[in-house]
A and B are shown apart, each in its own frame.
Chain A
Amino acid sequence: MAGEATIINVAARTSLWLQPHRIVLILIAIGLVLSAIFFMRWDWLPQYYEMGLLGIWRSLWILAVTCFLGFLLAVPLGLAQAAGPIWFSVPAKTFCTVIRGTPLLIQLWLLYYGLGSLFPQFPWIRESWMWPYLRQAWPYGVLALTLSFAGYEGEVMRGAFAGVPKGQLEAARAFGMSRWKIFRRIWLPQAIYRALPTLTGETVLQLKSTPLVATISVIDIFAVSSKVRQDTYLTYEPLLLLALIYMIITGILVFAFSKIEARIPNKVG
């Protein structure tokens, strides 16, 4: 993706950064920020400060958990599509198509409202140990986001697995490695190297999907800003701050991933 590259390139071009017109633009930007600080109302901040931090923490937590679980799920999904027998590859492909073909919001509501309304009809579910969790909203949010990430990343991993050169695998076989060892030492690491650049984009997309869980009553940072808007009747201030928070998180994510990417061998295969 050309877009991700430009974001990363911005960091590399810092030496060319301070040109005359940029200084003017930066001054204008500073002026806008200052006028936002002084002319808008921010007196609600101290009251919602802790709630906001908790919301950010929850958003990040959801992001980390769903990306991790989603990636674990994406590896078998990609492998099944790239090299699996037909009774593995067809279900995996169907899963990816369905997840990628429907809006996340609908998936989320289908799981939370749909499944959630079916569960109480089965007494054995209501009496099981899972019931206290199934009555809350966050498991559905985590499940929906995990499945979504797995669906999108599964497709990426399919390409990554298929893209590992045959010679690498043949060389590993010639070394007498077992199939599991080939997968663990050669195939999977090289596939992940290949998938890493897109992984940055997918993680940012996943971050941008997390506010959807607010629609099923999980109190993340988006829900906190909605609460501020309802309580104080302010429209712009909470939304602008929210946008800023997401931009900062995105910036940190992109920066961290570029550091990780810089560490991997850049010539694979």
Chain B
Amino acid sequence: MSQGHGASAMPLGPIFPRHACRRRCRRRLEPAIRGATLIDALLSASAAGIIELLSYNPPGWGGKLLFGLLHSLEIALGATCLGLMIGTAGAFGKLYGGPVVRDLLAVYTTVVRAVPELVLILLLYYAGTDLINQLLAALGYQRLDISGLAAGIAVLGFVQGAYSTEVIRGAILAIPQGQIEAARAYGMSPGLMLRRITLPAMLPFAIPGLANLWLIATKDTALLAVVGFEELALATRQAAGVTKAYFTFFFAAALLYLVVSLISNFLIGRVEARSRRGMPSIKEAR
């Protein structure tokens, strides 16, 4: 407990004797202590202090937090889209690809899902930037600084891709076989069948899993703080470190993440209901 318990806590010690926690005693003590010192000491717990700390403009850190949230959402959105693309390709490779492709994809999904995201993020971030720079050097270009946003999206997208591969593979397998046979009987080419039959028909089965992945992506962006990306968790940590109001800021960040999750949940519910229209409800299908 080195950094956390800072100096702001210290002055209270000698002022309050041990029994001060009991309500009656505190009432009697309170007038004796000037209100200002109490508020100073309990800055993180006082309403005025919190509003000042979280205000949008520079003395407060609210703007920085919201900016971080925006960054987090950008990364999550990009990573989910990239993951969806990898996942769709991966699922088709796993289902219809040759034996080598299948095995390689099995290794990809198994390894990515068995190794902690934190380790993967570090590994892919270093390896990815290194690889690109070596490639550029070999081709005779200059080294280039890869932006945090792009690296974050690439790394998280790669991780998300493994999970969405499995989700989409399961969803494609859940499509009634007759629909695919019918499409084939109509003489559709594989591309047309993919676009008109497989993708739309698998969506209702895939949406719950993919929605879950979106929620995981929003939460996984916090891990990028460990590598030093400028997003909500890191902004919060900086704000908390500067102001020493650790509880306030982490609570505020948790609240922001929760709001994102709740809004996502609401929207997902709507999308899910819409994508399943005309199908028997899950309860009836059981």
Contact = CB atoms under 8 A, between A and B. Distances in A.
Q: Do A and B actually bind?
A: yes
Contacts of A105: 222-223, 225-226, 233
Contacts of B257: 101-103, 106
B184 to A, nearest CB: 24
A97 B6 CA distance: 32
Contact of A236 (B123, B240, B249): B123
Given A101-B258, A101-B262, A3 B113 contact: yes
B222 A113 contact: no
B244 A251 contact: no
Contacts of A135: 1, 5
Contacts of B41: 121
Contacts of A207: 116
A211 B254 contact: no
Contact of A247 (B100, B111, B123): B111
B44 A106 contact: no
**Which of the listed residues B115, B163, B221, B237 has the most CB atoms from chain A within 10 Å of its own CB?**
B115
Interface in A220-266: 222, 235-236, 239-240, 242-243, 246-247, 250-251
Contacts of B221: 103
A134 B4 CA distance: 12
B246 interface: yes
Interface in B103-123: 103-104, 106, 109-111, 113-120, 122-123
A239 B116 CA distance: 11
B1 A109 contact: no
A116 B8 CA distance: 12
Interface string B231-275: 001001100100010111111011001100110010000000000
Interface stretch (A47-55, A123-131, A179-187): A123-131
B220 interface: yes
Interface in B1-51: 1-6, 8-10, 12-13, 16-18, 20-21, 41-42, 44-45
A89 interface: no
Contacts of A127: 18
Interface stretch (A19-27, A38-46, A67-75, A190-198): A19-27
B18 A235 contact: no
Contacts of B111: 243, 247
Interface in A85-128: 97-98, 100-107, 109-110, 112-124, 126-127
B127 interface: yes
B9 A211 contact: no
B237 A109 contact: yes
B126 A235 contact: yes
A98 B115 CA distance: 26
A89 B226 CA distance: 36
A117 B246 CA distance: 7
B170 interface: yes
B45 to A, nearest CB: 8
B121 to A, nearest CB: 10
**Max chain A C-beta neighbours (<10 A), residue from B116, B251, B265:** B116
A6 B4 CA distance: 44
A44 B201 CA distance: 54
A101 B253 CA distance: 12
A207 B246 CA distance: 27
8 contacts: A3-B166, A100-B215, A106-B233, A106-B236, A112-B4, A113-B4, A114-B250, A118-B44
Interface of A: 1-3, 6-7, 10, 19, 21-22, 25, 97-98, 100-107, 109-110, 112-124, 126-127, 134-137, 204, 207-212, 215, 217, 222, 235-236, 239-240, 242-243, 246-247, 250-251
Given A110-B247, A114-B249, 7 more contacts: A25-B100, A103-B223, A123-B13, A123-B20, A136-B1, A215-B226, A243-B111
The 7 closest A-B pairs by CB, nearest first: A101-B261, A114-B247, A2-B170, A103-B222, A110-B250, A3-B166, A113-B246
